[in-house]
Structure 1
């Protein structure tokens, strides 16, 4: 991690992203609390999360749009656009103004998708191939660190000084991010001109993944794993209630423990990738998720706490390794479409699993369901580990963006 942080261009990007990620970490929960405060409805507050996630349906089109621009100026404009989109929050005063918060939440969700897709491409341009894992690990470590305190800070800030101050702080964060990214010196190739069949271009990212043997296998494993983790998002509430006999708020404690594991995983990801290669590092991260599910079968904190550390660590290793694999196996011109398409491919089933888990836990013992998710995670991770392409993926595409599988090294 120290090596990549010695690069002035990445340090600027890193500082800019810390500012925007800090703003993001306090924003969503604060918006939900704001809706609850002015409407009195928990259901309407919960719909804020849906409003943020709903734009995921447009992911292929967003990825296509991102790929029409150079990454650095796009990210500068996107951060300033998010800051501008938050300004209407200053008009919120009473229940009738709740629609403004929903509109802002949708715009934020759309911008988050676009920024994530553009960021994947910019990191690939700013950082050489051999430092991609370190760069992704550094960003994941910051993301997990903010997960520990960001939402609590947002809730406390709203409670202490109100929603307008939260809006002002988050606007400042996005503006600072834009300023930091604006001064990065990076040379980017001009984007390819848009073809007449733009709808076909929008699907090029997923076609690239499907045609690439390594990406196809690993992405399939990711979809299965994240789908199963979607069940756990719901089951953990049953575990806290029926198993530990504690209040629902105790889920926040377990989430904080997961964040500690996430910090550890962000630091370990790059060394693991160097030693095992991207594919097997993804597999190892997936396999580490299994103890977390199985630790909830027996309701004791001495099992669930280390289980959540394993979960956070495994998830960070999986995410960093998978993102590094995507960047190394995808041409820069397609990075936005691939990143956005894969996000949709993974997040869509996860949302379905969360809803399905809410239904299943009412008819089946939560312990049985945890055993099932643990077994599925184990099978998925083992399938990726047993892949015939276990080593790092370098230069996996030809100049025209067609996959050309190179012989990986162990």
Structure 2
């Protein structure tokens, strides 16, 4: 039986992982620097700030499904990935240049955010099937865990780096770091040598192909359950997050520093989840981990809603719950990707992934808006209880699906 080298010894995987780590860290810097540029230097209105926040995610709704169809048509995905990173780098580089020239405006920032968001949608659509060319089938879960580790590290270290850079060189010039990170990612991906043997799907019309992707998800019990579960957590999760900071500051009375520390605990939980999931998946299987991880989703919501008493007690409770939930969410994400790769037909992987992304990311903005509106109408703590109850709905999606039967999972 063929035994591939450990991932840490595979040059191409190290290059792909390094590309994602560099790019995600740069993106975390811009996640702070771009809104700061708009708010403090350009005097953006609340409406403009909302448009700026939505500009990055809007492409998921506009071209997410089409990107998946295109990904399945391609014989080679790597050139498209490189092109996306280069275009993103050039778009980001225009911000400090426009600031120096006195031309920078809020609409300019929105246009850059939309361009980078469009590139991100296309990149993720082609990166998913491309990973099959780099990673052996038996190592996909471990590879996905590596990517989740990179995302978690970026979420832990990126905001601190962003704050330091904004203080040292101001927000517009901190964005240069993101432009450089996109270019570095492009060079790392270009150095990958693994041959791409993807068999492109024959073009049959864009909407015909999109419908095939939609039918593949809707008609497959496992994929349908994963999509429903993902949409549920991505609706109630953002509703919770939209109110979390103001709830922590105004209702619980936590200092701003401790609120930031809670975010770091989520990242640490993600790192632990990424480290443990490959071993647990080898022992128990991805199906069983998915079944168990959804049971932990409500922990953070319930702990936040229950928090009371002295500051140290509230912080201790919420930091522990954030750590546990961070582990559960990353474990779920890793196993989610592995199961989608396993269950989706090879010729439809791009479209299945794009359909999943379209459905799951498409509800994020709706959840945030709903959380804010309910917070105005009902108060903050009641909305947290509503979110906790809503997240419980993730459990039946997984428990009443074929994923509950771990014996149906292929033997390793």
**How far apart, CA to CA, are the structure 2 residues paired with 1:332 and 1:166?**
41
The one of 46, 51, 59 aligned to 1:47: 51
Residues 15 and 241 from structure 1, CA distance in 2 versus in 1: closer, same or farther, beyond 3 angstroms?
A: closer
Residues 190 and 278 from structure 1, CA distance in 2 versus in 1: closer, same or farther, beyond 3 angstroms?
A: closer
Q: Note if 1:148 corresponds to 2:150.
A: no
Per the TM alignment, residue 85 of structure 1 is displaced from its structure 2 partner at its CA by 2.2
Residues 10 and 190 from structure 1, CA distance in 2 versus in 1: closer, same or farther, beyond 3 angstroms?
A: closer
2:37 and 2:172 in contact (8 A); partners too? no
Q: Note if 1:211 corresponds to 2:215.
A: no
* Map of 1:78 onto structure 2: 84
1:7-406 matches, within 5 Å, as 7-41=10-44, 43=46, 44-57=48-61, 58-69=63-74, 70-89=76-95, 90-93=97-100, 94=102, 97-189=105-197, 191-192=199-200, 194-246=202-254, 250-299=258-307, 300-390=314-404
**How far apart, CA to CA, are the structure 2 residues paired with 1:340 and 1:239?**
34
2:77 and 2:127 in contact (8 A); partners too? yes
Count of equivalent residues:
397
Scaled by the length of structure 2, what TM-score is found?
Answer: 0.88
**How far apart, CA to CA, are the structure 2 residues paired with 1:407 and 1:256?**
34
1:140 and 1:320 in contact (8 A); partners too? yes
Report which stretch shifted further, 247-256 or 142-151.
247-256
Report which stretch shifted further, 266-275 or 372-381.
372-381
1:225 and 1:286 in contact (8 A); partners too? no
**How far apart, CA to CA, are the structure 2 residues paired with 1:16 and 1:240?**
35
**How far apart, CA to CA, are the structure 1 residues paired with 2:178 and 2:367?**
31
Report which stretch shifted further, 131-140 or 320-329.
320-329
Per the TM alignment, residue 158 of structure 1 is displaced from its structure 2 partner at its CA by 2.7
**How far apart, CA to CA, are the structure 2 residues paired with 1:372 and 1:366?**
10
| Structure 1 runs of 4+ with >6 Å offset | none
Residues 248 and 48 from structure 1, CA distance in 2 versus in 1: closer, same or farther, beyond 3 angstroms?
A: farther
1:88 and 1:100 in contact (8 A); partners too? no
1:234 and 1:354 in contact (8 A); partners too? yes
> How big is each residue's C-alpha offset from its partner over 1:25-81, in whole Å with a ceiling of 9 and x where there is no partner?
212221111111222236234432211111111210122233333122221222122
Report which stretch shifted further, 376-385 or 253-262.
376-385
**How far apart, CA to CA, are the structure 2 residues paired with 1:374 and 1:109?**
30
Unpaired runs of 5+ residues, structure 1, are: 394-405
Residues 74 and 32 from structure 1, CA distance in 2 versus in 1: closer, same or farther, beyond 3 angstroms?
A: same
Report which stretch shifted further, 90-99 or 154-163.
90-99
> How big is each residue's C-alpha offset from its partner over 1:197-232, in whole Å with a ceiling of 9 and x where there is no partner?
212213332221112221112221221122221221
Structure 1 vs Structure 2 CA RMSD: 2.4
**How far apart, CA to CA, are the structure 2 residues paired with 1:196 and 1:388?**
31
